[in-house]
Amino acid sequence: MSCPCAVDRRSHSASDTFYGIFPFVVPALGIPGWIASKTTMKT
């Protein structure tokens, strides 16, 4: 797998990996969730 290797290339621990992927995971999950919450029909 190339993606985890690219993330872990300079990581020394699990927390380094977390801080490496955090800036990508939060917007990737948060922005679509925010858009979905703004576009759902309220009943």
What confidence tens digit (pLDDT) does each residue in 1-43 have? 455 566 667 777 878 777 878 888 888 989 999 999 999 877 6
Contacts (Cβ under 8 Å, ≥6 apart) of 8:
17, 20
Rg (CA), the chain: 15
pTM of this prediction exceeds 0.85: no
pLDDT of residue 6: 63
Dihedral, 3, 6, 12, 17 alpha carbons, nearest 10: -50
Contact assessment for residue 8 and residue 19, using Cβ atoms and an 8 Å cutoff: no
pLDDT value at residue 1: 47
Domain parsing of the chain, residue ranges:
2-39
Residue 3: what pLDDT?
A: 59
